[in-house]
Amino acid sequence: MSLYRLIGSFLGRHWSAYASSGAMLAGIALLTVWIPRQVGHMVDELVANRLGGWTMVQQLLLLVAAGAVVYFLRVGWRLQLYAAAYRLGVELRQRLYTRLSLQGPAFFQTSRTGNLMALATNDIDAVEMAAGEAMLAGFDGTLTLVLVVATMALGVDPRLAAFALLPFPLMALSFWWISRHVHEASHRSLERFGHLNDHVQETLSGVRTVRALGLQARSTATFSQLASGAAEASLAAQRWEAAYEPAVGFTLSAATVLTLGVGSWLVWQQELTVGQLTSFSMYLGQLIWPMFAAGWVLSLFQRGNAAWARLRPVLDAPLSVDDHGTQQHVVPGPLQVEHVAFHYPGQPKPALKDVSLRIEPGQTVGLVGPTGAGKSTLLRLLLRHHAPEAGRIAWNGVELPGYTLGALRDAIAWVPQEAFLFSATVADNIALARPDATREQVIEAAQLAAVHEDILRLPHGYDTPVGERGVTLSGGQRQRVAIARALLADAPLLLLDDALSAVDTETEARILGHLRQARVGRTVVIAGHRLSAVADADQTLVLHGGRVVEHGTHAQLLAHDGWYARQWRYQQLQASLDAS
């Protein structure tokens, strides 16, 4: 969809606001055309000594009244216009946010957060201006131009109008040339602003790392370079936009010279009155707005086109994981993974190869293996963050694509490796999936996650704000708050992706003990590097290079004397040395 079709569709849905604004602009244009004609008539009456006294006062009051009406009409159309245009901005932002919230991780791996934020601000503002200010300025300017030129030609003198309009084709040609450069410069300006946003977002998100590595000077230099580039690109766009004004000024100056020259000769020949020449000169002055409006409209549309060219691919981007399922509710049952294969885009080696697994309801399954073995990838496939390239995953006999994403996500509680907390209180973060949970339920979940005592030591307990991304909490505290959040959600499937990596072994043992109580009747999949976390699992898979190389219970895997057994002995030895 082009920008013009987008605006046309919006205009069709909000035609009443545009129609009322257009009606007010038409009234302004008619009064604007009438005022010079009335002034010319008064000049001729004064020259003929036929105007004076109370009649003169009445004529002047009539002009003042017309000016007052024009003022109030201009206020009215702006209120109508901007109210409608802001609605388009709101609609586009909602559409963009909805689209981004439905996209899977594969989309965000190729899209930068700062640039997406720029799309939601600067780019949508440019489209909004094109739909609002540009549309009505174009209508107003066009209507005024038509009425003024028609009045000059039909109401004053067609010969004088023809001479006055001679320079205007040159102005149209210069506008066409300038607008091409405005489009290119605007696109470059918006892109550089997106790059600047990227840098600021990344730097603020990783400010601790920047400080720890002493990268402040380098980061500041990079910011200065990006800010200078964005400023230069914006200034270049402004320079081209400023070129409209000299083109208008030169055209109107040339038209004025021709008008005064030809008009004076016609007055000398007594083919034109002084009042008519005065009216014509005033009409010529009124062409200033239509000419400036033309440049302004072209500039706004070029900016809007450049912004829409950046917005449209994001809005039209296909979902990385489709949501065409029909099952609105998940009935817990066996979870079947059959011959699943998957590889990440751009990666030559597959992340998973021919993985098969069957999990009965209420079972606890462990996923272990060296770094990069495919543990987290398998969990992401269960969450439908990605779709398998081969094989199938079914839950209670229904393949995962058969469920709606909402139903599937409601049935799964997930604790990722990097626990994410929002800028809210500790209690709000724990109750994220269940905002109606009572404080007692929140505390119970925190106790199961062995974080209750830590929370009580915070300045305001459960009402303590955690800061952006939970910056005021330690890594272990963030992980345990995330575990409490997952336990409070009470979903039939719980996925723990190395969720105990930031806690000590004693705290891990406490959490695992609580989990044994809390996971009764709940299916749990635990991925991690510490084998103690999966020692009591009903079955454990050892992944290596994306393949299942060992499979069995803790005792069976120890008896097999493979990778699991060797890693278990190593971790037990390490634990005994740490204890001593």
* 224-265 pLDDT, tens digit each: 888 888 888 888 877 777 777 777 777 777 877 777 777 777
Token representation of residue 573 = 């030895």
Say which residues have a Cβ less than 8 Å from residue 42's Cβ, sequence separation at least 6. Answer: 51, 56, 59, 275
Amino acid at 395: W
In this prediction, residue 298 carries a pLDDT of: 76
| Pairing state between β 539-544 and 335-342 | unpaired
In this prediction, residue 345 carries a pLDDT of: 77
| Pairing state between β 352-359 and 335-342 | antiparallel
pLDDT-derived band at 53 (thresholds 50, 70, 90) equals: low
pLDDT-derived band at 578 (thresholds 50, 70, 90) equals: low
In this prediction, residue 40 carries a pLDDT of: 66
pLDDT in tens, 448-478: 888 888 889 888 888 888 877 667 788 788 8
Rounded distance, CA 173 to CA 298, Å? 13
pLDDT-derived band at 570 (thresholds 50, 70, 90) equals: confident
Amino acid at 125: D
Alpha carbon 186 to its chain centroid, in Å, reads: 19
In this prediction, residue 579 carries a pLDDT of: 61
In this structure, the number of other CB atoms found within 10 A of the CB of residue 242 comes to 12
Per-residue pLDDT at 580 exceeds 60:
no
Rounded distance, CA 556 to CA 528, Å? 19
End-to-end CA distance of the chain: 69
Answer left, alpha or beta for residue 545, where phi above 0 means left and psi between -120 and 50 means alpha: left
% of the chain surpassing 90 pLDDT = 4
pLDDT in tens, 307-353: 888 888 888 888 777 778 888 888 888 999 999 999 887 788 888 99
Alpha carbon separation from 100 to 87, 196, 402 (Å, rounded): 20, 21, 22
Q: Mean pLDDT, to the nearest integer, of 397-419?
A: 86
Q: Mean pLDDT, to the nearest integer, of 169-187?
A: 77
Task: Between 557 and 67, name the one with better pLDDT.
Answer: 557
Q: Over the chain, what is the mean pLDDT? A: 80
Residue among 506, 567, 136, 78 at smallest CA distance from 368: 567
Q: Mean pLDDT, to the nearest integer, of 532-544?
A: 88
DSSP string for 527-572:
E-S-GGGGTT-SEEEEEETTEEEEEE-HHHHHHHTSHHHHHHHHHH
pLDDT-derived band at 45 (thresholds 50, 70, 90) equals: low
Full set of structural domains in the chain with CATH? 3-316 (1.20.1560.10), 335-371+384-538 (3.40.50.300)
pLDDT in tens, 55-75: 777 777 777 787 787 777 777
Its sign, for the CA torsion 347, 349, 350, 351, is: negative
What is the model's pTM? 0.68
Amino acid at 192: R
pLDDT in tens, 299-314: 788 788 888 888 888 8
In this structure, the number of other CB atoms found within 10 A of the CB of residue 188 comes to 18
Task: Between 113 and 370, name the one with better pLDDT.
Answer: 370
H-assigned helices in 206-215: 207-212
| Rg, Å, the chain Cα set | 36
Token representation of residue 562 = 């493979």
Task: Between 447 and 471, name the one with better pLDDT.
Answer: 447
* Residue-level length of the chain: 580
